[in-house]
Structure 1
């Protein structure tokens, strides 16, 4: 049962409750008064207590994105929700509530300590994201079976577990089962699991543990294979040739081709289709290999461009640094001489010269920046031309390969039509004795029907080829456009930042001179 404090009416987490809680738990005395007057930014709050407030629903915590500790115990919460923004949460207490299902933890990847003590939970689940979990309190719930604990084997950092008060804790093998299946656990129900107990438990459950390990190993191998395939697919996608190293395109032509499937029952079509598939796959493989090679060339071009860009920036900055060092030497010299110069005319002359030098420095630095902008503009334009040429070459080469695939399709269609007409003639003469399904035989009622069926199949195949070609070209054109836009945005941002730095530095030099304590006669 959850504990209620004060009114039995359920409460919601609103701004007033949050503001009050933050002020109560914030700085005290004078510091607290100042914080209250100026207002506490919820983004700065690291710990928050919302216990004993009759809260029914977790909500409105989105402003506490830097929160590391959240206390929501002793409320009437029924569902774990509203925690997605709290990505930095390390410690979470939801004990003494009315929660039935573990859920809503997917974004809490930093969570280390979770208390769900005294709720209504019957299944350990939906915790895959909290792999850093070290402490888990599930005591006084409704967990019925020891087998539920196998789920916790994937939590390699788990060291402390509380399960007392669940039906499983009454099982005679409870402690041994936990010790055997969670060998890295240090504390169970707040008592140390000694090594002797672990050894006895491991021996007792050796067979089932060995089976579990084999299954876990198989699952791990499968996951690694899937991850490897995903990485490969991602690499193929950035080269715009995903699935082209297989018969995927050919299979996609026939996947939705009901007419083509029926026509495949005609004599000789299966063999013809197999040859078509082999030749089409070979051409797709050529596209794939070309695409991967072209991607590497694009990446090399980008690397060369970035190197040239950075080299130009570095050379320009070195010239600027040299000029700045010169002015700093003059600044130090002037500041060290000021107090020793008694002649106001000489001092005024030196200050005037210094101001002139500062003005000249500003002009020099801005001129250098203008020169750099022009230089980088030339580099960027050449890069744009190179990328445009590479994209054009990619499209031209791939178009050539796709023409070959269309020729294969046209040849297949012509031969398929010949076979279909010949079959129609044999059926008309009553000399066709092949065993074919009834739905296929229905295509041969007349010439128009069979010609339309072959044509529909052909049109669908050409559409699939066209769509795949358009997809590749759209993606590479979009990539090139986005790349150039990004380069231009970055250069514009760099230029604005550099001009701002120059102006700020000049103002700094002028302010230093204004703050300089001059002899009385110069005041």
Structure 2
């Protein structure tokens, strides 16, 4: 009986990663690398081919990888690499993959090799917007139309699908050239422009339909992007949810949904007119009040950002001016120190040595006073700027809160008017029901219409629900603005304290080093 040695699957662990990195290090620095180690964040390329790896894992520390080579292993799934935001080149050829997955977030990827696996469908690659080279050869792709998935990759220049079942289709080349725009090489062969023209003419109807679908998809994508930007802006300005405030007032209100069934036409009309109905003053309606509120808050939010930018600019300018003056004094001091220490080392006259030492110590003391004086002046300048940003930022936050207070007070008035009219309408329907004019109601509605107390509770509950929506939106604004003001001002103070501490430490460290050099020169002189 024969004995066969089986190789156990390998796990990607710290030891394997260290060995792989050391194997690919330049031989000239290999010893240094082994002795001192290599920071994972500095690793841009990682070769893990021919390691018998079963699962991709434990690469979290190598977040700056640009090139990852995992070919010739026994990997069954693409996973645990979505955080590699800088990855441009990924080789997973000669593995046991059956599905394309786990590529979300790899927007920088330009070269993807999945050659010689068991993949049956091209899919789940939407985030690879910069893909230029794609190898899917020697897999199990058997549906020619699946190639049309690649039309979304406008930068795709090189495609290799040789060795798949679709290649046996007599229309394979023509279909690919017609549907995948901008290809330069297909299955290792240069793509000729005349063949592309012929192919596109053959599938012109399909291409027109496909391009229309692309336009619709792009429009939806752009709309989603704009909505995401708007949502992000509203969240930063603490008015998230303001766009759907009205719809949520009714869609989420179970009491209203129940009452609405009593007379869908009349009550639906009242709901639809709500955002446009003028209030008692004849000039305010829900939509107008909310839009004015949004414009005011977003305007003040941008003013806050401008204030922070101006603050940073003022601080940077003050720091630059102080640094310029400090550098001038340091360069002059360093020049004089070098000359005086050289004179001390070369002189044999004790009086000359003492005089030079005295001058050097005096200059060091003067430099200390000057540098610390510059820093003190800078601290005072920055303190003045901080006071100004605090005052302006606080005023802007106050203006936002005041706008919110006014807005939600007006919305509550509009809601109260609606509630009164809504109540009158429901009561009128209640009276009709008691007269026997509404026989088409179901049992559930008959129960509530037959109990006036339950009916009034539902009406008032619906009103309270909508008022609660206003309370929540206003509280979200006030709480968010207060937290934002606290965080911003606290961060400004903390940054200045740290800057001052670091600068003073830097000055004192330099002075300690200079005094040590002077002491050493003095010791050597006697």
In structure 2, what is the Cα distance between the partners aligned to 1:61 and 1:212? 39
In structure 1, what is the Cα distance between the partners aligned to 2:230 and 2:68? 41
Give the structure 2 partner of residue 395 of structure 1: 401
Tell me how far 1:242 sits from its aligned partner. Answer: 4.4
User: Could you tell me the TM-score, scaled by structure 1's length?
Assistant: 0.87
Measured against aligned partners, the alpha-carbon deviations of 1:207-242 in whole angstroms (never above 9, x if no partner) come to: 322222222122222222332233233333333334
In structure 2, what is the Cα distance between the partners aligned to 1:39 and 1:284? 59
SS across alignment from 1:18: helix
SS across alignment from 2:211: helix
Tell me how far 1:179 sits from its aligned partner. Answer: 1.9
Question: Of 250, 253, 273, which aligns to 1:254?
Answer: 250
Deviates more, 1:367-376 or 1:474-483: 367-376
Check if 1:14 corresponds to 2:13.
yes
Tell me how far 1:427 sits from its aligned partner. Answer: 3.6
How many residues are matched?
A: 513
Tell me how far 1:426 sits from its aligned partner. Answer: 4.3
User: 1:65 touches 1:85 (CA, 8 Å); kept in 2?
Assistant: yes
1:104-503 pair list within 5 angstroms: 104-242=102-240, 244=242, 248-264=244-260, 265=262, 269-270=267-268, 272-278=270-276, 279-328=285-334, 330-331=336-337, 334=340, 343-428=349-434, 430=435, 432=437, 439-503=444-508
User: 2:89 touches 2:109 (CA, 8 Å); kept in 1?
Assistant: yes
User: Could you tell me the TM-score, scaled by structure 2's length?
Assistant: 0.86
Measured against aligned partners, the alpha-carbon deviations of 1:183-225 in whole angstroms (never above 9, x if no partner) come to: 3222222222223322322222223222222221222222223
Tell me how far 1:387 sits from its aligned partner. Answer: 2.3
SS across alignment from 2:74: coil
User: 1:27 touches 1:35 (CA, 8 Å); kept in 2?
Assistant: no
User: 1:49 touches 1:72 (CA, 8 Å); kept in 2?
Assistant: yes
Give the structure 2 partner of residue 52 of structure 1: 50
In structure 2, what is the Cα distance between the partners aligned to 1:84 and 1:275? 48
Structure 2 unaligned spans of 5+: 277-284
Tell me how far 1:76 sits from its aligned partner. Answer: 1.7
User: 1:49 touches 1:70 (CA, 8 Å); kept in 2?
Assistant: yes
Tell me how far 1:512 sits from its aligned partner. Answer: 6.1
In structure 1, what is the Cα distance between the partners aligned to 2:307 and 2:41? 43
Tell me how far 1:168 sits from its aligned partner. Answer: 0.4
Q: Could you say if the C-alpha distance between residues 421 and 95 of structure 1 is closer, same or farther in structure 2, counting changes exceeding 3 Å?
A: closer
In structure 1, what is the Cα distance between the partners aligned to 2:484 and 2:140? 54
Q: Could you say if the C-alpha distance between residues 41 and 352 of structure 1 is closer, same or farther in structure 2, counting changes exceeding 3 Å?
A: same
Structure 1 unaligned spans of 5+: none
In structure 2, what is the Cα distance between the partners aligned to 1:293 and 1:434? 54
Measured against aligned partners, the alpha-carbon deviations of 1:293-328 in whole angstroms (never above 9, x if no partner) come to: 322332343344334434443444454345335424
Tell me how far 1:181 sits from its aligned partner. Answer: 1.9
Give the structure 2 partner of residue 522 of structure 1: 525
User: 1:276 touches 1:412 (CA, 8 Å); kept in 2?
Assistant: yes
Q: Could you say if the C-alpha distance between residues 257 and 167 of structure 1 is closer, same or farther in structure 2, counting changes exceeding 3 Å?
A: same
Tell me how far 1:460 sits from its aligned partner. Answer: 1.1
SS across alignment from 2:159: strand
Measured against aligned partners, the alpha-carbon deviations of 1:301-360 in whole angstroms (never above 9, x if no partner) come to: 334433443444344445434533542453365467668866441243123211221122
Q: Could you say if the C-alpha distance between residues 227 and 140 of structure 1 is closer, same or farther in structure 2, counting changes exceeding 3 Å?
A: same
In structure 2, what is the Cα distance between the partners aligned to 1:236 and 1:23? 49
Deviates more, 1:37-46 or 1:496-505: 37-46
User: 2:104 touches 2:127 (CA, 8 Å); kept in 1?
Assistant: yes
User: 2:10 touches 2:54 (CA, 8 Å); kept in 1?
Assistant: yes
Tell me how far 1:435 sits from its aligned partner. Answer: 6.2
SS across alignment from 2:134: strand
In structure 2, what is the Cα distance between the partners aligned to 1:277 and 1:462? 15
Deviates more, 1:453-462 or 1:506-515: 506-515
Tell me how far 1:99 sits from its aligned partner. Answer: 0.6
In structure 2, what is the Cα distance between the partners aligned to 1:506 and 1:381? 32
Give the structure 2 partner of residue 73 of structure 1: 71
Tell me how far 1:33 sits from its aligned partner. Answer: 4.7
In structure 1, what is the Cα distance between the partners aligned to 2:157 and 2:386? 56
Tell me how far 1:58 sits from its aligned partner. Answer: 1.9
SS across alignment from 1:161: strand
User: 2:344 touches 2:356 (CA, 8 Å); kept in 1?
Assistant: no
Q: Could you say if the C-alpha distance between residues 73 and 495 of structure 1 is closer, same or farther in structure 2, counting changes exceeding 3 Å?
A: same
In structure 1, what is the Cα distance between the partners aligned to 2:299 and 2:65? 47
In structure 2, what is the Cα distance between the partners aligned to 1:23 and 1:312? 47
Tell me how far 1:120 sits from its aligned partner. Answer: 0.4
User: 1:64 touches 1:85 (CA, 8 Å); kept in 2?
Assistant: no
Measured against aligned partners, the alpha-carbon deviations of 1:494-519 in whole angstroms (never above 9, x if no partner) come to: 21232233234334545665787x9x
In structure 2, what is the Cα distance between the partners aligned to 1:112 and 1:276? 53
Tell me how far 1:79 sits from its aligned partner. Answer: 1.0
Q: Could you say if the C-alpha distance between residues 315 and 161 of structure 1 is closer, same or farther in structure 2, counting changes exceeding 3 Å?
A: closer
Q: Could you say if the C-alpha distance between residues 71 and 481 of structure 1 is closer, same or farther in structure 2, counting changes exceeding 3 Å?
A: same
